[in-house]
Amino acid sequence: KDVQKEREPHVYLSKEEVEEKIQSYNSSVTDKLKMTLNANGIYTGFIKVQMELCRPITVESSQSQGKCAHSSNNETAFCLPDGCINTLHISSNNTVREVIEALLKKFFVADNPAKFALYKRCHKEDQVYTCKLSDREHPLYLRLVAGPRTEMLSFVLREHETGEVMWEAFSIPELQNFLRILDKEENEQLQILKKRYAAYRDKLEEALGGVWTPG
């Protein structure tokens, strides 16, 4: 179930509560990605973000791999593999917007960060909820409160919904590259369909031949 915005009230913890939460968190960690509390009350740790991008992203050509379409300015429209997960080391002060910017920088993405949104996916009452986080949210705080289990809380990077896309943020070369990739994918799907129906036709003709063959 997708929820447009996270509407739960924020209940911030005292320094003592944060210290207790971090100790409990670290005792439950199984992948060595522990949190550290600094003397100033700021804590650092890791979050994992799954990339669920439907549209191509623009990266430097030297950094791209996989399905892509090149432009003349050394940039590439590139489709990230499905289920790609990235781990970020952040602090409790880092906001959603800063996390998005850090993710794009890590992937050498040249697109405007305003094209993307960070979601949290959590389990409640045997249902999975996906909520878009506001720019002011602090992902590491959410990770701490939920604990280290990603099945209880995970983060997902998506594009804004189609109706929310800031198309003016895309350059003409970007849009042209998107069209090239769409044409390529359309041709690939067309070839797959042709092969499938050709196989069906061969089997039908073989079956009909068997029915009508004398003796």
User: pTM score > 0.85 for this model?
Assistant: no
What's the whole-number mean pLDDT along residues 117-142? 87
Q: How would residue 128 be classed by pLDDT, with cut points 50, 70 and 90?
A: confident
Q: Among residues 175, 57, 139, which one has the least CA distance to residue 105?
A: 57
pLDDT at 64 (0 to 100):
47
pLDDT at 157 (0 to 100):
92
The top-scoring range by mean pLDDT among 37-51, 74-88, 186-200 is 37-51
Does the pLDDT at position 127 exceed 90?
Answer: no
- Give φ, ψ of 130 to 5 degrees: -120, 115
Q: What is the pLDDT of residues 100-121, one digit of tens each?
A: 999 988 878 888 888 889 999 8
Does the pLDDT at position 149 exceed 70?
Answer: yes
Using alpha carbons only, what angle is made at residue 16 by residues 14 and 17, rounded to the nearest 5 degrees?
Answer: 65
Q: Which of 2-16, 159-173, 177-191 has the lowest mean pLDDT?
A: 2-16
Written as six digits, the tokens of 117 are: 């949104």
Among left, alpha and beta (phi > 0; psi -120 to 50; other), residue 82 is: beta
What average pLDDT does the chain have? 80
pLDDT at 43 (0 to 100):
94
